[in-house]
Each structure stands twice: as structure tokens, then as C-alpha cells.
Amino acid sequence: MNNQFIPQDGLAGFKENWRVDAVSGFLVFLLALPLSLGIAKASEFPPAMGVLTAMVGGLFVSFFAGSKLTIKGPAAGLITICAGAVTELGGGEQGWKLALGVIVVAGLLQIVFGQLKFGALTDFFPPSAVHGMLAAIGLIIFSKQIHILLGIDPALLKGKEPLELFAMIPESIAHEDPRVTFIGVISLLIIFGMPLLKFKAIKRIPAPMVVLLVTIPMAAIMDFKHTEPAFDMVKIGDFWGTIGFNVSFEAINTFVFWKYVLMFLFINSVESLLTVKAIDGLDPFKRTSDANKDLKAVGAGNALSGLLGGLPMISEVARSSANVNFGGRTRWCNFFHGFFLLVAMLLFIPVIEMIPNTALAALLIAVAYRLASPNEFFKTYKIGSEQLVIFIITIIITVSTDLLLGVAAGIIAKMFFHVLNGVSWKNLFKANYEITERAGETLVKIKGSAVFSNLVGFKNAFKTIPSSEKLVIDVTETHYIDHTFMELLHRTEEEHIHAGGSVTSVGFDRFKPISKHPLAARKFSAEQLNKWEIKLSPRQLNLRDFAEADDFQFNPQRVKNTIKFKGFPILKGNKILVEENVLTKYTEHDRIDVSDITLSYGAMQEKEEIDVTVIHISEIDIKIPDFTLEPEGLWSKLWELTDGKDIDFEKHPEFSKKYYLRSESVAEIQSVFNDTVIGFLTFREAMHIECYRNKLLIYKKRSLLDPSEISFAVDFAESFLEVLYRSQKAHSK
């Protein structure tokens, strides 16, 4: 893929990218189908209504959405609200239809909110409180689904609060259905076991679809339809006959109705908009979504879904992250995901009704685990201990009361910590800054404090400065900076660098970070003004010794400005957060940098970080066309539809079988990859090699390398370049 290529929108984008988007949409469909069924059932809605919601999100909302890569559909984060609305409004079919009225009204209000440009209000909610809310939702989902996995009658669970459901777990284990539980446990083993497999190709298969491929035959062999209670199997019924005007507004004059309108409106909007913002950070084309337009589109989708009988939808983070990783380019991915769901409901309802509910419960337990995993607690603690306190307070209040009170408690706790750190009440809500135009640059001087509650003001100020310009941010008159402002500063830096501008920060040496996390909150410290020391870790000491022995210069400092990696395919669906431990040396023909980079992929609760040691080679004397070379795997032929066609060489079947090579300059690549170069690569250990704008990026595996492995990788890189030099020199003669 040409890294300067920006996909077109609308029909032109369809004609240009339909093959790529159809493949991504199909793979997202495999993920969405079982999850949509499970989310609807857990929400006390007819299971197929979850699929209807995703169909509306794809076939309807995709035409109006303000984001390019998000997937619209039902979300686990709304299960507790949906189930609560159905139950409190009477339960059963009556509760479902009255809850639909709540969804329609909330959807219409979302359209109004979008029109009033409320999309930026998500910046007011601190990430620790939002993630705490999502973790609490995960615990609430688990409290019910563990009983379903064990084969317990759902009727016994109705009306019980999460803490009561947790207390029931020992009793449910004592009365579990062994056959149902067996399938549920197998499902969990598949979901949690697949990511542990070493085969990269296997990891790309959507685990929920593997669960269905395994559990449907198991349930058929055990004859669940005739030997187990009806509640153990998915029931679709007359899906197409059910779709229609199902909504009821009879409860519109009650407190319960408006309580759930407020909850739907708040949670739905915040989670959806946060996903849009997070997926923008993963977009390989660095497009910026229109948050207000997307909010209106989701509102319209919610209103239509509610009228027809479906659940509320959001820009769902897991499916959207998967869409980016599958190579999706435009909004047509969302459309295709809805189209394939439509085909499934036209042709495969009998097969869907063979799904055991314990398998869907396992999928939801996996979702609950991602929302409330120990890793979420650890990631929050890494940002700062006060963030963990806010996170836990939000969880406790949410589980014991409700979502709105939980988030409110988290916001109050965050403000309390800010006041303790010296933030004035006046500065808590008002952004204090000065903008000065200077020769060739814009200076923004931040005064007082920069925190989540006044973030919108700073965000609007940065928006007035063209990204292509040089921006200087001066914090010498700032007392306190929190995590949310550091995230804004990081995003602003990325946007300016991508647009050809730059961001320089002045005065950060005056602050003491609350933790070692690069985006941690920081407070002014007089001690820092006279303090300068670098403490090397054991790894850095080993790298320093390696550098001295192999004529490298060693710089252990962390750097956020990773512009030198811009354009390389390794950034597809990923972000490089920081670079550190840089080993540098010059050879006769080029410059070699070996460094550790922190690579981030996924978004929000799906976000993961890995450290990778890479070799970056620049200032190369010869001309090399852009290409990507990686070990070929089981799914390489499928990825040809999204990543580019594999360039094979008939004379060298071993090389063609070993490597997946792609480039837009096929003729040039076939000239560069001559017999000598192919022979070298065929009989050396497989490596990932990327070339962009005459620079190379080489890495052995997606993890850190020890000094001996670095020595091997550097030897490979130098030998590879030497082969290229010799072959091009011979060709020029």
C-alpha cells in the first residue's frame, strides 16, 4: 500500500477499495454475529435483535457516520442498562417494547446533542473514571453469565443484584449441568487459549467464530435440542415476522422511563465518542473524524433500531479495532459487515438456532474479563496511584448502585485529587493560556493548571493553530498537569508531525512525574530544577556494554517524537508511543539505529502494548523501492486482498514459499530481488524487512532482543545491505 494514498469517500471510495473493505467487513461479521446474539440475550432482548442492531449500524448508519473505520453495533457496555430497563419496565415482551421507547427517545436526543456540537464533552470525563465504569460493567456481566455457562435456569436469576449473583456462584456450581458446563468450558479454553498460540496466522482467526464452529457440532452430537431444557439453546423464531413497529411509549410519563433515557444517552454517547477518538489514533491514514456528525448518525441509528425492536448501538471498540487490523480503509467496511449479517439472517437461521447458550455466555465472560482484567488495574496503576484510587472508587459505586452515580463518584474523586495538588477552584474549570505569534512559530503559554475539567478550552486553542505550523508549548508558568492533558499534548504532537509541522515543549524539566509512565500527571517541583540524573536499568547496562564492544553510540533516554518511523507498514493499526535505548553507528554506506520501541495496538480496554527491538537504516547510498517482506503464513493469501499481492518468483519456489513480498513497484522489485539477493534471504533465518522512502526497518520478532540477538540482527542487516550494494553495482556495469 502506498503510504501517501488516502482512500476516497462515498461511491468513489467503494469503487476504489471494495475488495479490501469487503474482506475486512466479512472478518468483522464473523466476530459480530455471535457477540450480537449474546449481548442481546444478556440484555433481556430477543437474541436476533442484537443482529438487527448491527445490521442497522452497518446498512444504515455507515452512510451518515462521521468516522471512517468504526463499526456500529450493540455493545457489552450497555447490557446492564438494557437489562435494567426491560426489568424495571415490567419484564418480558412488555418490558422489551417499553425499553424500545426509551431507546428511541434517547436516540432522538443524541441527534440534538450532535447538532449542538456536544461531541467534545467526552473530554470532560477522566479516563480512569470511564475505564472504572467499564470494568464495573464487566463484573456485572460476569455475575450473571457465569450461571448461564453452568446451565442454570435464567428465570432463577431475574431481579437479583450483582452482589447477590456473586453470592449465588457456589450454589450454581453445586447444581451445574455437566454437559452444558463442558461445552462452556471448552468455549473458554478456545477464547483464552488462541491468543497464547505461537502461530501468527491462527491468531488472526476471530475466536468467537471458532467457538461456534466447535460448539454447534458438539451440541448436535449431544442432541441438546431434545435432551436439554429450551433455555439452553438460542431461539430466533420468526425473525422477519418480528421486525416491525415494536416500540411503545406508554411509560413516557414515568420516572423510570426518563432515568433510563438519561443513562442510555450518557453512557451510549460517551463510550461511542471515546471509541471514535481512539480509533482515529489507529487510522493508518491519520484521518480525523467529525465527532458531532458521528453522534448524530449513531442517534439516528438508535432511533431506527428502537423502532424496529433492536438494541442501542455505539461505535464498538473491539470490532472497530479488529477492522483496523484487518486492513479496512473506508466506511464501506461497516456497510459490508451489516450486509453479511443480513445474508446470515436470510439463509442461516436454522444453523444459528443450533448454538448453545453456554457458548454465548463464554463469549460474554471473555468480554467481561477484558473490561475488568487485572491488566486494566495494572495499566491504571502505571499511570499513577491516584488514578487507581479513582478507578476503584468508580467500580465500587457502580456495582453497588448504578452507572451514573459511579461515574459521578469517579469525577468527584478526580477533582478532589486535583484540589489536593493545588489546583484552584477557578482554574479547575477555566483554561488559562496566552497565544503569541512569533517569527515562523506559534507560542502557547499554559498558566496555572491543565486538567481534565478545563481540557476543552486547551483543545479548542490548539485547533486554531494549523497542524503544518511550528507549535511551541511553554509550561514554565504551570503548576500542575494531569494525565488527560498529557494525552492531548501527545495527540497534538502526532497531528503536527504528520502534517509536516512540529511541536516543541518548554519547561517540563520543572516537573516531577507522579509515575514513570510517559503520560503520567506531573507537578511542579523546585528540586527538579537542580536535579539531573539517569539511572540505568539492568537491560540498559547490558546495552551500554554491547555498544562499547561493537562501536555503537548509546542513548538510553526515552523519546516521544518517533517521526523516523512514519510511513512504515509496522504502524498499520498500531502506534509507536516511545523510542528508547538507541544504539547508533555509521558505516561506509549508511546509518544504523537499533532501538527499543513501545508499540500500542487496539483501543481503550482492547489496548495492548508490546516492546519491540528494531533496526532502522537510513542515509543509504543506493536507491531501493518501497516494499514489505515478511515470513509467509497460513493466511497470507487472504491478506493479499487487503495488503497487496504476493510477488512470487518461479525460478525460486523456496523463497516464494518462505516469504510474503509486496510492493507497488513490481518491476523494480523484481530487478532488485535478483538471484543473489533471493539466495541470501532463502538460506538465512526469516526476518521482517520494510522499506519506505529509501529507509529500511528490520526486526526479528515482536519482542525485545538481548545483546546476542541484536548482534545477529545487525549482522543480518549489514550482510543484506552488502548483498544489495554488490548486486546493484554489478547490474550498473
CA distance 138 to 133: 9
Contact 481, 512 (CB under 8 A): no
Of 502, 461, 493, the C-alpha closest to 575 is 493
CA distance 350 to 354: 7
- Consecutive 10-residue averages of pLDDT for the chain (733 residues): 70 91 92 93 93 96 93 92 93 94 96 89 80 90 94 90 93 95 96 80 78 94 92 90 90 95 92 87 84 95 96 92 88 96 94 94 92 89 89 93 86 91 88 86 92 88 85 91 88 79 84 82 73 72 91 84 80 82 89 91 76 93 89 67 78 89 87 90 90 92 91 92 83 61
CA distance 215 to 192: 15
Same domain membership, residue 168 and residue 277: yes
Q: How many CA atoms lie within 13 A of 488 on its CB side?
A: 27
Same domain membership, residue 676 and residue 568: yes
Same domain membership, residue 526 and residue 550: no
Same domain membership, residue 593 and residue 629: yes
Residue 408 placed within a domain:
no
Total domains in the chain come to: 3
Q: What are the helix (H) ranges across 651-706?
A: 653-658, 666-672, 675-682
At which of 341, 357, 372 does a domain end? Answer: 372
Q: How many CA atoms lie within 13 A of 98 on its CB side?
A: 22
Secondary structure of residue 456 in the 3-state scheme: helix
Of 135, 605, 130, 120, the C-alpha closest to 408 is 130
Q: What is the CATH number of the domain that holds 519?
A: 3.30.750.24
Same domain membership, residue 363 and residue 242: yes
Q: Which amino acid, 195?
A: P
CA distance 627 to 1: 9
The residues, ordered by sequence, that sit 6+ positions from 192 with a Cβ below 8 Å of its Cβ are 366
Same domain membership, residue 526 and residue 556: no
CA distance 344 to 352: 9
Contact 535, 577 (CB under 8 A): no
Q: How many CA atoms lie within 13 A of 39 on its CB side?
A: 32
What single string gives the DSSP state of each residue in 607-636?
-EEEEEEEEEEES-SS----EEEEE--TTH
Strand 553-555 versus strand 470-481 pairing type: unpaired
Of 434, 519, 507, 520, the C-alpha closest to 476 is 507
Run of H or E residues at 697: strand 695-699
Task: Compute CA distances 592 → 333, 551, 561, 567, 703, whole Å.
Answer: 39, 11, 18, 18, 19
* Whether this model's pTM surpasses 0.85: no
- Residue 523: beta bridge partners? 480, 512
Same domain membership, residue 724 and residue 629: yes
In angstroms, the first-to-last Cα distance of the chain is: 32
What single string gives the DSSP state of each residue in 417-440?
HHHHTT--HHHHHS--EEEEEETT
Q: What pLDDT does residue 243 have?
A: 87
Contact 337, 33 (CB under 8 A): no
Largest CA-CA distance found in the chain, in angstroms, rounded: 87
Q: Which residues form the domain of 362?
A: 10-372
The residues, ordered by sequence, that sit 6+ positions from 409 with a Cβ below 8 Å of its Cβ are 129, 393, 394, 397
Tally DSSP H helices, then E strands, for the chain: 30, 16
What single string gives the DSSP state of each residue in 553-592?
EEE---B---GGGTT-GGGTTEEEEEEEEEEEEE-SS-EE
Q: What pLDDT does residue 614 have?
A: 95
**DSSP letter (8 states) at residue 356:** B
At which of 337, 372, 407 does a domain end? Answer: 372
Residue 225 placed within a domain:
yes
Contact 21, 333 (CB under 8 A): yes
Same domain membership, residue 154 and residue 258: yes
Residue 22 placed within a domain:
yes
CA distance 334 to 301: 13
Same domain membership, residue 328 and residue 255: yes
Residue 402 placed within a domain:
no
Same domain membership, residue 560 and residue 521: no
Residue 466 placed within a domain:
yes
Phi/psi for 578 (5° steps) reads -150, 160
Q: How many CA atoms lie within 13 A of 554 on its CB side?
A: 17
CA distance 151 to 157: 12
At which of 511, 530, 549 does a domain end? Answer: 530
CA distance 315 to 603: 12
The total number of residues shown for the chain amounts to 733
Q: What pLDDT does residue 450 have?
A: 93
Secondary structure of residue 168 in the 3-state scheme: coil
Residue 397 placed within a domain:
no
Same domain membership, residue 518 and residue 543: no
Q: Which amino acid, 393?
A: I
The residues, ordered by sequence, that sit 6+ positions from 493 with a Cβ below 8 Å of its Cβ are 503, 560, 561
Strand 511-513 versus strand 695-699 pairing type: unpaired
Residue 399 placed within a domain:
no
Secondary structure of residue 698 in the 3-state scheme: strand
Contact 320, 58 (CB under 8 A): no
Same domain membership, residue 263 and residue 180: yes
Residue 409 placed within a domain:
no
Nine cell digits for residue 170: 457456589
